[in-house]
Structure 1
């Protein structure tokens, strides 16, 4: 078990300097797998307070293009840091992949090797719309299973992450945190680390917690805390989008 400091309650945070929220999607902005009117209202309140929102998700580029177009957010980083989608623009691949077709063949072959050990696993329906990663079932996998799958991926020159929703095979070194630094340098160069708050709910958000000083977990992250190299600095009392709305309340409180 990894030792860690217990996160502080989000109500104790001073977030008055924050100008950008970078949030996971599933399990963080959703409730029972749905987006709510309360979330859209919160996005609008944040915009009025001049706080931008960037979604960082394990969902595909295809999902990201739609979300960036229809939600009142700055953009959507997809595939656990693999690409960024801005409104009205073509996706930008963030990972240095020389040949997408060859890379996707490598991902599929690795998944087929994993299936030899866990034949019940099914590939995600949206893999056809992915560029940098390969997604598949997480349901029913134990911690020991996940550790073995990570070892298989590493043996094939790939990385592996998982969330409460899916497992992902990735190019070596690709992560939400690393790609967020890249996006900030190119698109938000004036922002300092203390002006960015990251929020998530699963192990695939670990790099967001580790690489940014202001990090927040919603309450459904608690079962995964012992699996994280570094926990978030703050923890919400409520799960899913209710926890995100707690964070929004603190952000707006600090501007009152």
Structure 2
């Protein structure tokens, strides 16, 4: 893993971050992690969650947390305030098309996977999703074995479904959206960044294989310590591996960014 120098850290103006097991610790947002987000916001670093989390949770995040925008459901949409009272929900496709594709994926899972995996179930937050489909692999159940997760990902891919595993869900969808493509769209359309600014002013922090497109696409990338279990399944790794896990790893990076400023 490389080292990112202080001059590079001081130029970072946008910190994109995964949520589950990157911001959260055992499903909770620690007070020191939330404080770190506030400190970054106050210092002029715009924090933007990029998550597989459902639209319902993303709506809460953009309203209640000191963040500049939220990308949700693995890149299906973003939410942003364009004025104090004008919250916008911008989808990769229009709402009807997202719902149509979501229904197709649900049908595939029920027809091709569930008859063969009797303990497979949708995440409890599926009802609050507008685009993707989430399978619970460790959120409200004992974690599935890594080999079974790999097999489910393979089967979904064979069925023409995009699928990525986070620490708690398999997120599945049909379409050409993803975390990194939507991040580029957001940064260009809402913050007016060009390619050079994206390269030099944007960083990302994540924890699992479903963050791989972000690690591949951006220059300044960080992995919290708990990403170690996923590295063998990934072609593209974070540039820097932090010492602390989960929400404390986010605090570790926040401290480095604030010190550099």
Q: Residue 132 of structure 1 corresponds to which residue in structure 2? A: 131
CA 1:69–1:136: 2 relative to 1, 3 Å: same
Q: Residue 100 of structure 1 corresponds to which residue in structure 2? A: 98
Following TM superposition, where does structure 1 have runs of at least 4 consecutive aligned residues deviating by more than 3 angstroms? 8-14, 95-98, 139-144
Deviations 1:13-68 (A, max 9, x none): 84111000000011011122111221222122112221100001111111101111
| 1:224 matched to 2:224 | no
Structure 2 CA distance for aligned equivalents of residues 180 and 237 of structure 1: 26
Asked whether the equivalents of residues 163 and 204 of structure 1 are also in contact (C-alpha less than 8 Å), the reply is yes
Q: Residue 49 of structure 1 corresponds to which residue in structure 2? A: 43
Identify unmatched segments of 5+ residues in structure 1: 1-6
SS of the residue 2:105 aligns to: helix
Asked whether the equivalents of residues 101 and 173 of structure 2 are also in contact (C-alpha less than 8 Å), the reply is no
Q: Residue 151 of structure 1 corresponds to which residue in structure 2? A: 154
SS of the residue 2:10 aligns to: coil
Question: Aligned-residue CA RMSD in angstroms?
Answer: 2.0
SS of the residue 1:242 aligns to: helix
Structure 1 CA distance for aligned equivalents of residues 137 and 174 of structure 2: 19
Identify unmatched segments of 5+ residues in structure 2: none
Structure 1 CA distance for aligned equivalents of residues 7 and 247 of structure 2: 18
Q: Residue 82 of structure 1 corresponds to which residue in structure 2? A: 76
SS of the residue 1:28 aligns to: coil
Task: Output the TM-score relative to the length of structure 2.
Answer: 0.88
- 1:146 CA displacement: 2.9
Task: Output the TM-score relative to the length of structure 1.
Answer: 0.90
SS of the residue 2:251 aligns to: helix
Q: Residue 239 of structure 1 corresponds to which residue in structure 2? A: 245
1:64-213 matched pairs, under 5 angstroms: 64-87=58-81, 88-95=86-93, 99-112=97-110, 113-139=112-138, 140-190=143-193, 191-213=197-219
| 1:251 matched to 2:257 | yes
- 1:197 CA displacement: 0.4
Structure 2 CA distance for aligned equivalents of residues 155 and 169 of structure 1: 12
- 1:125 CA displacement: 1.5
| 1:37 matched to 2:31 | yes
Greater shift after overlay, 192-201 or 173-182? 173-182
Structure 2 CA distance for aligned equivalents of residues 10 and 34 of structure 1: 29
